[in-house]
Amino acid sequence: MLRGPRSPLWLLLLLLLLLLPPGTWGDGGRARPREGAEEAGSAGSWSAFQGLRERLRAAGALCRRYWALFSCRVWPEGCRQDEEPPARPPGLEADLRVRLHGQHLARELVLTAARGYLELPQPDKALALSFHGWSGTGKNFVARMLAENLYRDGLRSDCVKVFVATLHFPHHKYVDLYQEQLAGQIRKTQEHCHQTLFILDEAEKLHPGLLEALRPHLERQVPENPRAKSPRTIFLFLSNLGGNIINEVVLNLLKAGWSREEIGMEHLEPQLQAGIVEATDSGFGHSCLVKENLIDFFIPFLPLEYRHVRLCARDAFLSQELLYTEEALDEIAKMMVYVPKEEQLFSSQGCKSVSQRINYFMP
């Protein structure tokens, strides 16, 4: 006999553990990297206790997510369609630490900004984060990760909308129509959901008119009812704009003897923001969003190195439950093109094509 939604969660957790694929909690017969072979600072160098703690935390988050889905199916009358997210997404910190490679600045900034915003009792403004960096450095990956931790259905949630500039707004002559469609979509989603997430990819290619249409949704608002819960909206702008500046700063610091993990926002933020404003091939830096400080954080994604590509390759194998060897990881990493020509430090495509390259090593 089914019991109410307050039934102990340990039964569901036990069921999930039994259903997890082989190798989730151990080697499971899978070929794993040799001890000590992972690069310093990578997830593979963590102690066994730390790894187990992260797995338990992730499993707990997964349990709660599936329990919410299960309870909505069994007791639909008590299920909220807008699916209000927790103030502290339980799996976000673990996901950013374990799955995101080479991006210590983005990891800390995204986590701090998201937590701080979701904990506000009455936010008077939408949270606007602008991700900048070369293709393949993790901008879309982090956006998807945030959606997955905030919503049961991730990017497929009705409360999440993704817009790609060249796909959804390809013709400048129709900008007036696009403005109406974009504003209408935002209003409709906010009416349906208490918490909304809007992702605008290729933000540097958005027409200035579209950026202007976003102004009312990013400006500070006076709550109509101080006692009522304020709706929450997060805007993510993803852009390659400023990528070259980020790479140049990182390269110079590495050549000067700095370690990657010592690079801070104080090294990047001034030059990144100046480069965005001065860019002549994009209107993003000249828009009201930038000039009126409606963007809360400009988040740099650093260029990825050989060791990070190896970790991406390892994750790609594991995500498909495939065997891998250290030699296979090296072969995939060597397939990438590295720049600059002299130093050959950074992967020109980041980790973007890694998942396709593992097909060469499938039996």
Tokens of 349: 């495509």
Q: Which of the two residues, 53 and 178, has the higher pLDDT score?
A: 178
Residues 83-95: pLDDT tens digits? Answer: 455 555 668 999 9
Report the predicted TM-score, pTM, of the whole model to 2 decimal places.
0.77
* Sheet strands side by side (includes 160-164): 160-164, 195-201, 232-239, 127-132, 297-300
Cβ partners under 8 Å of residue 262, min gap 6: 253
Give the tens place of pLDDT for each residue, 302-350: 999 999 999 999 999 999 999 999 999 999 999 999 999 999 999 999 9
What is the predicted pLDDT for the residue at 121? 86
Under 8 Å between Cβ of 254 and 219: no
Given this model, what pLDDT does residue 272 score?
97
Q: Name the residue ranges covered by the structural domains of the chain.
A: 90-222+229-302, 306-359
Q: Give the list of residues 6+ apart from residue 69 with CB closer than 8 angstroms, or none.
A: 152
- The CA distance from 62 to 59, in Å, is 5
User: What type of residue sits at position 256?
Assistant: A
CB atoms within 10 A of CB 25: 13
User: What are the pLDDT digits (tens) for 174-197?
Assistant: 999 999 999 999 999 999 999 999
- Name 232's Cβ contacts closer than 8 Å, sequence gap at least 6: 117, 118, 123, 126, 127, 194, 195, 196
Rounded to 5°, angle at Cα 275 from 196 and 236: 10
- Sole residue written with tokens 């630490």: 97
The pLDDT, as a whole number, for residue 361 is 81
- What superfamily would CATH give domain 90-222+229-302? P-loop containing nucleotide triphosphate hydrolases (3.40.50.300)
Helices 10-19 and 48-74 cross at an angle (nearest 10°) of: 110
